[in-house]
Amino acid sequence: MAKSCPISTSFIIISVLSHFTSSIGLRPWPDVLPYELQSLDIASRLRVDPDATRMASRDFGRLVHPPNPAAVLYPSSIEDIASLVKFSYNHSSPFSIAARGQGHSLRGQAMASHGVVVEMRSLNNCSCGSGIRVTKNPIWGSYADVGGEQEWIDVLQATLKHGLAPVSWTDYLYLTIGGTLSNAGISGQTFRHGPQISNVYEMDVLTGKGELVTCSKDTNSELFFAVLGGLGQFGIITRARIALEPAPKRVKWIQMLYDDFSTFSRDQEHLISINGLDYLEGSLFMQNSPPNSWRSSFSPSEYPRISSLISKNGIIYCLEVVKYYDELTSHTVDEELQELLKGLNFLPGFVFTKDVSLVDFLNRVHSGELNLRAKGLWDVPHPWLNLFVPRSSISDFNSGVFRDILPKINQTTGPFLVYPMIRNKWDDRTSAVIPDEDIFYTVGVLHSSGADDWEPLENQNKEILKFCDKAGIKIKRYLSRYTTKEDWMNHFGPKWRTFEDRKAQFDPKMILSPGQQIFNSV
Ligand code: FAD
């Protein structure tokens, strides 16, 4: 472990001066941060005013309101972030630091009460991070070197200019590379290509010691695997090398409705076991989660027919698949699809087909977002529950949760997702945690609520977790945050020791991402 830096005479002078300037009101300085921080080059890019610190203690969830950070750094280079981390690491009273991508977390995971939040997007605004650089190599494989602060929508646009695109996505593209790689990054392509963390060749990572390290499967591999799915605990991703493939131009997008869960899930599992489809997801429609949610892509003329089906059955399951195509395959794609979907048991007459561009498909959630924003319904509390459910229990989960618990709340709340994934597309050396079965389902209960009525939805989430516990369903939570070490240890299970050892190795003073509450409490 590196030695603590002795506080030099100049630091003492600056410290005294800082006390003085703050006491005469030149620049108020939070007591919790060392005054010597003001002597660093980055001082002018550190904001301590309430506007900045309030902004950095908000997130998409709008459910937790811990104390604000003491300061927010708007870096103008990766060196700025390195200076900050090094300073904290070498100080006798290290303070916590959280990288913040877009703050799309649900429960304060990108916050740092009394510490410093690093607004990663600032690197994009000044074009001073790693940016997005595409390398086209048809023999060894093409890739994009992308700053951790970049959004996936920008990666899509930049790579398409070269006729290329990443293969693994999230449903929503206004998330940062650093943010999704710290979780996993899942969507309908995961069954085929694995999550986003399975599609990274190399990264530059600034560890909790302030060292900038390049890592990959072969070089500094312990850090590489620690950081992927690592919840921001081991380092700040400043660059990731993302695998690219030739981009298809268009998409055949098909949705099929079912009134029976076992038929629906059997068809889902069949489709992920064969080659040919590029995307597969699934969702539920019921009175409180109708087909016109922000995530839906049905045209309004289709609602009445679907709604009457919901009235008749209570719950309807929607299987959603995609096949990519381009000029070369445009005349065979329909035939191929027919072959792939042969023998499925969806409700006759309830199949809906669309033909859209790749960008319109990948960016499908954005129009729903704009719609909600226009109505003031985007920046509201989001008591989401995201789970991975082992295949062996999904039928019990359907009876206990989808059929019994979810319909109990009758206000319209948001979309509910359910689709299968394959364990061997995930690399067990990463920090991500998934169930111990070859096939598992991701379930997303994506509630939105009014400013003051999120508690019944939170209580329902608790009821779901209690049900799983009682029924012995060995779920793993995704995008969640526990508040006790014991719960985190249970979450990681056999991976806990490795997770803890990696923390001691790469962030021994427990500086990074305190909002996850794994090694720090707020
Ligand atoms: P933040 O919330 O800012 O940060 C998340 C965590 O990562 C924090 O702990 C933070 O400290 C850390 N972090 C941020 N940047 C870095 C970095 N550069 N290096 C290291 N650590 C860093 N997820 C999916 O997998 N699939 C989906 O389909 C999906 N859809 C979504 C749809 C919506 C509308 C929303 C709001 C979220 C969705 N998510 C999805 C969840 C998303 O992946 C997480 O919220 C994730 O945290 C990304 O958000 P962010 O970039 O804003 O990161």
Residues identified as active-site: 104, 171, 281
Which of helix, strand or coil describes residue 392?
Answer: helix
110 CB less than 6 Å from ligand 1? yes
* Per-residue model confidence (pLDDT) at position 522: 58
What rounded mean pLDDT belongs to the chain? 93
Question: pTM of this prediction?
Answer: 0.94
442 CB less than 6 Å from ligand 1? no
148 CB less than 6 Å from ligand 1? yes
DSSP string, 297-331: ---GGGHHHHHHHHHHHS-EEEEEEEEEE-GGGTT
The protein residue whose alpha carbon is closest to atom 38 in ligand 1 is: 172
207 CB less than 6 Å from ligand 1? no
Average pLDDT over residues 260-265: 98
Counting residues of the chain whose pLDDT is more than 70, the rounded percentage is: 95
Q: How far is CA 53 from the centre of its chain?
A: 23
Q: For 56-193, list the strands marked E by DSSP.
A: 71-73, 97-100, 116-119, 132-135, 142-147, 164-166
- In one-letter notation, the amino acid at residue 304 is P
CA of 247 to the centre of ligand 1 (A): 24
CA of 270 to the centre of ligand 1 (A): 31
Average pLDDT over residues 153-161: 98
8 Å CB contact between 235 and 208:
yes
Instruction: Note the pLDDT tens digit of each residue in 97-147.
Output: 999 999 999 999 999 999 999 999 999 988 888 899 999 988 889 999 999
Rounded CA separation 215/224 (Å):
5
Nearest atom, ligand 1, residue 60 CA: 36
Beta bridge partners of 237: 205
45 CB less than 6 Å from ligand 1? no
CA of 294 to the centre of ligand 1 (A): 19
Instruction: Note the pLDDT tens digit of each residue in 217-232.
Output: 999 999 999 999 999 9
CA of 174 to the centre of ligand 1 (A): 9
The residues, any chain, with a CB within 8 Å of residue 240's CB and separated by 6 or more, are: 145, 146, 148, 177, 178, 181, 200, 202, 203
pLDDT at position 1 over 80: no
